[in-house]
Structure 1
Amino acid sequence: MDEFAAETKVEWREWGPAAFEAAADSGRPVLLSLTVPWSGECRAMDRGTYGEPRIAANINDGFVPVRVDADRDPRVRERYTMGGFPSTVFLTPAGEVITGATFLGPDGFRGILDSVREAWDSRGAEAGSIPRQLQDEAPPAGELRPRIEEHMIEQLLGAYDEEFGGWGTDVKFPLARTVEFALVRARDQATRSLEAIHTHLFDTYDGGFFRYATDRNWSNPRREKLLDENAALVRAFAHGYRYTGTETYRDAAQRTAEYLTTTLWADDADAFAGSQAGVDDYYRLEPSEREEADPPHVDETVFADRNGLAVDGLLWLAAYTDDERARRYAQRARDSVCDRLVEDGAVAHYDGEGSDRGLLGDQAGLLQGLTTSWQVTGESGPARGVADWTIEHRQEQSGAFRDGPESGAGLCSRSLHPLDTTVELADALVDLAALTGEDRYRRVATEAVEAFAGAAERMGVEVAGYAAVAARLRDPQAVVVGTEAGTDLHRAALRLADHETTVVPDPDGDGVARLREDGTVTAEAETPATLEAALTGE
């Protein structure tokens, strides 16, 4: 149970079979509360709604109340979220959804209670339904064609906001992966978006990026700071600096790295904490006033997937700027997570009781950090073991990857094939194929990406990473450097190669760097200068 449950008067149960059995035995629906430690609305609903004695008594008498920390249980989150937090979801004893909402004040909650009771009394279990994303056994498959990349470029052009930067004309999210896709295909869009993100979402005093802006002009930011989103922006700004040399981008990445290695550093775990809450009253204070105020709550849970992405982002920053602090903390977090959370290739979600092991998000996120570590530092860690376990235990016959085991309470036994996580995994497997010389990893990545190719024409800019990894699979490129990591030639390869090209340090090599395109050597270089000429054509 999360630490904030005590602020309520509801008699919460843990998620699991026992809660659903109790609902079936008593003939009552389940009330599922999905919360996260960084949400101000979750705390407000705890105090104002679940803390109201009459509402709590109503819940305790008429429902089986279940509370889930959505960060700690991503399988429940992905199957039941109502699009934000808190998510308030009413379920049948079989786990099917009757109805749901996000934040509800006392009056709104009383209203939904009445409608749920009416539906349950009149229809019983038939009042529930299975969400659409859980009704299909597999995503629509297809072939990897150039059209996938072309379609996404068209989506960039059609969705770009020429007036304010970014994509879309409503809520503005940073969309770090979309920025990276645009850096080599629509650079003006990418750089204008980076400038907007930096101007409007960066916390100039405490460091780090807020989650998103609620208005088209990037105003009214949601001020939570999550490790994975900040890690992704470290990487995006580092890549932006690599392509443009813009000092503002380098400074933004380094300031964010400083935030991650101070505020979000969990000393006891020697790794990165999961998030910091967004408290508007605090962030509206002047800098001198912030010095006297208590900072927002930091959830010090060390999540494997988020730490993997932090390792990835910080090491690319180190590769481009020689930032030794970023390198050192990335290596410390990598080693700590691998020691604490990895066992025979299976990755635990976090270090604590109740943690799932082998979730696709953790396997993919950590693998991303490990393959980047191999490229930048020459240290592979358990990359092969993590990849092999994931392929053996999570890939289905269709080629798609499932998010977790085929078991669990509620709808957790139903298949879910997450696109974003598949992109992360496939991207890491492309790198691993080049790093190991084993083409089987590329074949697995191709199968995983092809499993979604039938839906490619319906994809928007939010999943531009899918088109990027599809392009990498169609035209894989690697720079194999015949030296150990850290030599001038290796460092030059990291800074000169396209960010979608894998850099492979080979300590047993002959001191020559070779550009391989789809397995064929197309250029060779023995010095950083000749490598630059080979890669840039100058």
Structure 2
Amino acid sequence: MDESAERTRVEWHEWGPEPFEIADRTGKPVLLSLSATWCSWCHEMDGETYSEPRIAANVNDGFVPVRVDVDRHPRVRERYNMGGFPSTVFLTPEGEQLTGAGYLGPDGMRQVITSVRKLWDGKGAEAGRVPRSLQGEATPAGELTPQIEEQLLGALHETYDERSGGWGTDAKFPMPRTIEFALKRERQQALRTLDAVGANLFDEHAGGFYRYAAGEDWSEPHYEKMLDTNAAIVRAFANAYLYTGGEEYRQPAADTIDYLTTTLWTGDAFAGSQSAGEGASYYARAATEREDADEPSVDPTLFADRNALAVDALLTYRAYTDDDAAGRFAERALDTLDAELIADGEVSHYRDPENTDDVGESLLLADHAHTVAALTTAREVLGADALDGRAIEVARRVADAAIDELHAEGSFRDGPASGEGLLDRPLRPLDGNVEMVDALLDLAVITGEDRYHDVARETIEAFAGAWDRFGPQVAVYGSAASRLLNGTLVIRVGNPAGSDLHRAALRMGDHEKVVVPGADDVADGTATVSIVTADDADATAADPATTPGELETRVSDLTADRSGE
């Protein structure tokens, strides 16, 4: 439980079976508070609302209060989030929802408490409901068609903000995965959005990107800095540099890596986040005024998914720039991830550095997807020696564990279908499924094992019946569908990692490609170029390349032939 929760007058319970057993035994509803260490509004609600004596007494007497850190319990977050944090959710003893809200000041909390008590006294547990996404309905399966990518490209055009950049007319989020989809298909939109992200969300004084902007013109930034947001932005800027060669895209990636490897570096891996500061006023000050203020706190928790994404991002940057320092930090974080959070293919969600016995639950989809992606990227960039030569073997085990334990009825659950409240009801997040599909397609190419292609295709098809309703937020679904329909550009290099031919392969202008250095089936001093699909309709360049120039020609000719140019 975070320190701000301990400072309130509420007698908080940790998430687990005990508070639900107490609620059932005493006939009381549960008050679930979803909070985060980085969330300034959460701290304000603790100070203004939960610390008010009469409110705290009412909560303690009439409810069973439970506090959950949303970073450490993502499955709870996804089932009970009321649209932001803090979320204040009232539950039956079985975990079904009665009602909920976001931030509540003292007056608002009194009104809600009165309303919930009337509801509970009148209907009891019968007033509880289960969100539709958790009611066990089958995913909307369908056939993969070229229309999927076309639909998502159309969604970009329909929602793109021509004046300010980005997609949508409300709050602006960086949306780095959407940017990556657009880089290959609608580059000017992607680049203009990156320009807006860099101009409005980057902290010029201390480094790092803020989480999002409340204003449609990128104004009113929310100042918290998340490891996963910053890592994903690094990768997006690095991929923009791959396509353009522009310093204006390399430099923001480099500056953000500096932030990650200083402020968020714990000595062995990356911390989870940096808060916005009390009242969010720190970042609104001029640089000279910050010097006399306390720097916002950092949550040093080691999160598997966020560190894996950071490893992927730093190695992507190294691939295009030869930045050895970025590579060394990535390797150190990957070693730590392997040593502390991966066991027999199962990834634990987090480890508390101040209490090494405090380890998060295992077998969460996001952890496994990002870990497989980090391991395959390590094999592409660092070569066969990545993770002491075990990168792909570990990737296999992590992928196999997810497939064995989480893949059912054609798609992946977000975690084990067990636990308190609504955790025993399966949730199949589209974004998490797509991230795993991308990782499995890379793993299939590197290992030559078709089973990973088969699971990837089945998973994408499990959602293909709803493609006409997808928006830009899930544009990366179009990337995965395209890879399955049109294939993945694969460059296999006989030379080891770091050779001129390998470095040239990494710099070929397609960020969705797969590069395999030190390939056993390729002669030393040569590289082969092919487009690999899931239905054995592979295409291969006629002759191996022996120089970077020849490699560029082979890639250009093969991709032109496949596209009909």
TM-score range, shorter chain: over 0.9
Question: 1:66-103, CA deviations, whole angstroms, 9 ceiling, x for partnerless residues?
Answer: 11111001110110010101110000011000000111
| In structure 1, C-alpha distance between the alignment counterparts of 2:93 and 2:427, rounded to whole Å | 20
Aligned twin of 1:527: 547
Question: 1:81-134, CA deviations, whole angstroms, 9 ceiling, x for partnerless residues?
Answer: 101011100000110000001111000000100110111011111111001111
Question: 1:459-487, CA deviations, whole angstroms, 9 ceiling, x for partnerless residues?
Answer: 10000111111111112221111221111
Aligned twin of 2:563: none
Q: Note the C-alpha offset of 1:293.
A: 1.8
| In structure 1, C-alpha distance between the alignment counterparts of 2:346 and 2:23, rounded to whole Å | 33
TM-score (norm 2): 0.93
Q: Note the C-alpha offset of 1:507.
A: 4.5
| In structure 1, C-alpha distance between the alignment counterparts of 2:107 and 2:468, rounded to whole Å | 43
- In terms of mean alpha carbon deviation, does 20-29 or 520-529 score higher? 520-529
Whether the 8 Å contact between 1:309 and 1:366 is mirrored in structure 2 is yes
Q: Note the C-alpha offset of 1:410.
A: 0.4
**Superposition pairs of residues 225-374 of structure 1, within 5 angstroms:** 225-267=225-267, 270-279=268-277, 280-352=280-352, 353-374=358-379
Aligned twin of 2:471: 460
- SS of match in other structure, 2:100: strand
| In structure 2, C-alpha distance between the alignment counterparts of 1:333 and 1:354, rounded to whole Å | 17
| In structure 1, C-alpha distance between the alignment counterparts of 2:447 and 2:546, rounded to whole Å | 22
Aligned twin of 2:4: 4
1:451 to 462, 469, 472: 462
Aligned twin of 2:41: 41
Whether the 8 Å contact between 1:479 and 1:497 is mirrored in structure 2 is no
Aligned twin of 1:400: 411
Whether the 8 Å contact between 2:315 and 2:381 is mirrored in structure 1 is yes
| In structure 1, C-alpha distance between the alignment counterparts of 2:486 and 2:270, rounded to whole Å | 35
- SS of match in other structure, 1:166: coil
TM-score (norm 1): 0.98
| In structure 1, C-alpha distance between the alignment counterparts of 2:414 and 2:472, rounded to whole Å | 23
| In structure 2, C-alpha distance between the alignment counterparts of 1:160 and 1:461, rounded to whole Å | 9
**Superposition pairs of residues 215-230 of structure 1, within 5 angstroms:** 215-230=215-230
Check if 1:487 corresponds to 2:499. Answer: yes
- In terms of mean alpha carbon deviation, does 274-283 or 222-231 score higher? 274-283
| In structure 2, C-alpha distance between the alignment counterparts of 1:74 and 1:497, rounded to whole Å | 35
Q: Note the C-alpha offset of 1:291.
A: 2.3
| In structure 1, C-alpha distance between the alignment counterparts of 2:540 and 2:517, rounded to whole Å | 16
Question: 1:5-62, CA deviations, whole angstroms, 9 ceiling, x for partnerless residues?
Answer: 2121100111112111110111100000010100000100111111111100000000
Aligned twin of 2:138: 138
Unaligned 5+ runs, structure 2: 353-357, 533-537, 561-565
Q: Note the C-alpha offset of 1:522.
A: 2.3
Pair 1:27–1:354, CA change in 2 (3 A):
farther
- In terms of mean alpha carbon deviation, does 498-507 or 95-104 score higher? 498-507
How many equivalent residue pairs? 535
Aligned twin of 1:517: 531
Q: Note the C-alpha offset of 1:184.
A: 1.0
Q: Note the C-alpha offset of 1:4.
A: 2.4
- SS of match in other structure, 2:262: coil
| In structure 2, C-alpha distance between the alignment counterparts of 1:418 and 1:197, rounded to whole Å | 26
Aligned twin of 1:390: 402
Q: Note the C-alpha offset of 1:308.
A: 0.5
Q: Note the C-alpha offset of 1:354.
A: 4.9
Q: Note the C-alpha offset of 1:138.
A: 2.8
| In structure 2, C-alpha distance between the alignment counterparts of 1:534 and 1:206, rounded to whole Å | 44
Aligned twin of 1:92: 92
- SS of match in other structure, 2:412: coil
Whether the 8 Å contact between 1:138 and 1:400 is mirrored in structure 2 is no
| In structure 2, C-alpha distance between the alignment counterparts of 1:455 and 1:271, rounded to whole Å | 39
Question: 1:473-528, CA deviations, whole angstroms, 9 ceiling, x for partnerless residues?
Answer: 11222111122111110110001141111111134331321111133312531111
